[in-house]
Each structure stands twice: as C-alpha cells, then as structure tokens.
Amino acid sequence: MKFALWGLNHQNAPVDLRERLAFDPSGVERFLDNWPGRFPDTEAVLVSTCNRTELYLGSPGDTLPDPGDIFDYIAAEKGDAALSGDLPQALVYAEGAEAAEHLFAVASSLESMVLGEPQILSQIKDSYLNAAEHQTTGVVTHSAFQRCLAAAKRVAVQTGLFRHRVSIPSVAVSDFALELFDSLADKTTLVLGAGEMAAETLRYLADGGVKKIVVANRTRSRAEELAGDFGAEVIDWEDRFAALDRADLVVAACAVTEPILSRADIQTRLAARRGRPLFLLDLAVPRNFDAAIAQLENVYVYCLDDLNAACERNRKSRSAELPKAKKIVHAEAVDFWRDLRLRESSDLISRLRTQWHETKESELTRLFNKCQDLSEQQRQEIQIAFGRFVNKALHAPIASLRDEIDTRPSTLLEAFVRLFRLK
C-alpha cells in the first residue's frame, strides 16, 4: 500500500505562489470530478486553504502515478501551463509514515500560522468528506484521515494547546489593528465574505465588544445568516464601496481569484473619509486586496504573510505544549503506518498460503492419480507430510515479514509480491 502527499504551505512558499496553486470551492469540485478519469487506481484528497494546498494520495497497490503526470494534471486544472514546470521545485513530497505524520500535525494545528487554532481540523474533515462524495477515496485515505482525527483529538485533550481559543483573525486584529486604534469598541468594522474565516472574525470582534459591524457577501442570504448570529448590519455586495466611507477596519476573507477592492476603489473614497486612517486586513489566498492599495496615504494593508511575526510570538507562548503534542502525533503516525502495513501483509500472507496450498493440492492429485494402489492410510500420511512441508517452508519468510513490519517500514512487502508473483 502507498500513502503520500505533494504540497506547499505558508512555511515553504510565498503568497504569490500559494495564490497560483490555491483552489476555490468550484475548482476543488472540478479537480475531484476529473481525477478518476485520469488516475482511476489512485485515491486522492485535496486540501486547499488560505495557507496551504496539499494533495494526499493513496493506493492499495505498490505504485503511485508518475510525479510529472501529477504536475501536468494540476497545471491543467488550474489553467496555468507554466505551473507544470514550477511545481517540481515548489512542492514538498513525503510518503508513508512521514506523510501521515505531516497530515496528523496539520489536523492538530501544529503546522498552522496560529498554533492551536481550531479551524484547520474542520477544513481537513470537509476536504476528506468532499473527496469521499466524489468517490476519490479508498481504504488507504480513509484509514489515514480517520486516524488523523483521532490524533487531533488526543492533542486537544492531552495538551494545553487549545486551552484558550485563538485564530488568525484574533491574532491579526489584536496584534495589528489595535496598534493603530486604541480600541475597536467605537469603530466600524466592514467584513467582506461570509465563510468560515469571516465567521471567526465576527466571533472575535463580538466577543471583544465591537458594536458596529457591517457584513457584505456576494450571496446576501448567506451574509444575513451570518450577521444574524452577531447582531451585525447587512448590506448588498455592490454597496461595499460606499461602506468604505464609514469603515475604520475592513476584513476580507472571500474565495475569489481577482481582488475585490482595487487602489482606485479606495482612492475614490478618501476625500469622504477626511484623513481618517483605514485598516485593511486581508485573510484570503488569493489576496482580496490589490497590493497597490498600500501606497495610499493613511491606508494600512496587511495580508497573511505579514502575520508571521505575530504568529511566531503566539507559537512561543504555547511552545511548552509543543513537544508533548509532537510526540502524540509521531506515535499516532507510526502506529497508523504499522497497522496499514500489517493489514497489507496479512492479506499477502493469506494469498501466499492459498497459492502454496493450491499447488500442494494439485501435486497431491497428480501423485494419487499415478499411484492408484496407495492405501487410504498412506494417502493421509502423504497429505499430512505435504501440508507440514508447506507450513515449514512458509514459516521463515512469513515470520521475517511480520518482524520487519513490527520494527520499521520496509520494501519487504514489495519483494514478497515480486518473489512469489502475488497479484
């Protein structure tokens, strides 16, 4: 069996590259819809968030698609032919227990910009369920993602990483917005978007006592649903430009491929603002705000990559719990991979025994047909001798296989398949 990943994230790729590889919800749907036609024998789960794009692969066999074919497929799905040549240097590859340990660490928020934020686990769950609905999962990915949920639960219960709720919006607002404004209680916040990140922003603002919150979303009904939970005002998406006149803080978290606010959009509203500072917080990848906006006077723009220093401070404050969490994740990954290999070896051992016993029966039939004068007792003795021979002949290789799986991942399973020509 094979389990592997190709991916990049905020730790190893700049935001412009993450933007090129990010999949919006409809893009994920197309990616999964088309996958079985291109790779019918390979399981796939695509995780695409604001900070990472990772493709997890599984196979009940001993091979995975050629990396070049994977890169070509991703480039074609993104409509970016140049990606095919850029991905070999950009994407990180891992397989086996290493790939499992990475997945478990991601689900446990050990790889998040904000250590201990809970959103990533729900994103991992949603990614797996989406893949399952598109029938791109199987025994390997099912086992991996079920085990990663168990690992994340152990980290949450057995460590203090999640003791105090934190999130990217909470770090962004507390470490950046409050450097510009003494308080947000009397300020107006405009939230653009109505997804999970926008909901987390509203939750943090409401808990912090912010009273004036305005929500705009391309689908107004979704904005109304979200705003109703927090007593926020709702405006039409087209009115977001006029709302800039009264906004002090604008938070954007929309899944779009093009900026929703340009420099010109902001510049035309500056006169009405009469010099009041405007804080723009971009929590999306691809970015929601045109980078050129930052050139305007009294306008302050921050994106996810600007949060690294603040997130590092958060990580250090929780670092005492990190070794314990990593130990849990490592143990879960090792156990997962061992269980998966044992499962595979048990299947191979069963097929090997069946193959040899079928050969034994065939040879006994041939022998008894030639030796018609054998007594029933002699036939039984010969049958017992053949059976003991098969069991003794298989004992050493089967014991070696089990011992090897117990101690470390190895290529012995593949060697068994080739040596005994097991399909």
Tell me the three-class secondary structure of the chain, residue by residue.
Answer: CEEEEEEEECCCCCHHHHHHHCCCHHHHHHHHHHHHHHCCCCEEEEEECCCEEEEEEEECCCCCCCHHHHHHHHHHHHCCCCHHHHHHHHCEEEEHHHHHHHHHHHHCCCCCCCCCCCHHHHHHHHHHHHHHHCCCCCHHHHHHHHHHHHHHHHHHHHCCCCCCCCCHHHHHHHHHHHHHCCCCCCCEEEEECCCHHHHHHHHHHHHCCCCEEEEECCCHHHHHHHHHCCCCEEECHHHHHHHCCCCCEEEECCCCCCCCECHHHHHCCHHHHCCCCEEEEECCCCCCECHHHHHCCCEEEECHHHHHHHHHHHHHHCHHHHHHHHHHHHHHHHHHHHHHHHHHHHHHHHHHHHHHHHHHHHHHHHHHHHCCCCCHHHHHHHHHHHHHHHHHHHHHHHHHHHHHHHHCCCCHHHHHHHHCCCC
Whether the per-residue pLDDT at 232 is higher than 60: the answer is: yes
Q: Report the percentage of the chain scoring pLDDT > 70.
A: 96
Q: Which residues of 239-278 are buried (b: 16+ CB within 10 A; e: fewer)?
A: ebeebbeebbbbbbbbbeeebbbebebbeebbeebeeeeb
Tens of pLDDT, residues 285-342? 999 999 999 999 999 998 888 877 777 777 777 778 889 999 999 999 988 988 887 7
User: What structural domains and CATH numbers belong to the chain?
Assistant: 2-164 (3.30.460.30), 168-311 (3.40.50.720), 341-419 (no CATH)
Phi and psi angles of residue 189, each rounded to the nearest 5 degrees, phi first: -110, 130
Report, as an integer, the average pLDDT of 119-126: 91
Q: Cβ atoms within 10 A of the Cβ of 414, count?
A: 12
Q: Which of the residues 50, 254, 303, 311 is marked catalytic?
A: 50
Q: How confident is the model at residue 165 (pLDDT cuts 50, 70, 90)?
A: low
Give residue 409's pLDDT: 47
Whether the per-residue pLDDT at 238 is higher than 90: the answer is: yes
Half-sphere exposure of 184 (CA within 13 A, CB side): 29
Is-catalytic flag, 311?
Answer: no
Please say whether the beta carbons of 199 and 167 come within 8 A: no
Give residue 164's pLDDT: 61
Report, as an integer, the average pLDDT of 351-369: 86
Whether the per-residue pLDDT at 83 is higher than 50: the answer is: yes
Average pLDDT, whole number, for the chain? 88
Give residue 246's pLDDT: 94
- The reported pTM is 0.67
- 115 compared with 216, residue with greater pLDDT: 216
Tens of pLDDT, residues 178-217? 777 878 888 999 999 998 888 888 888 887 788 899 999 9
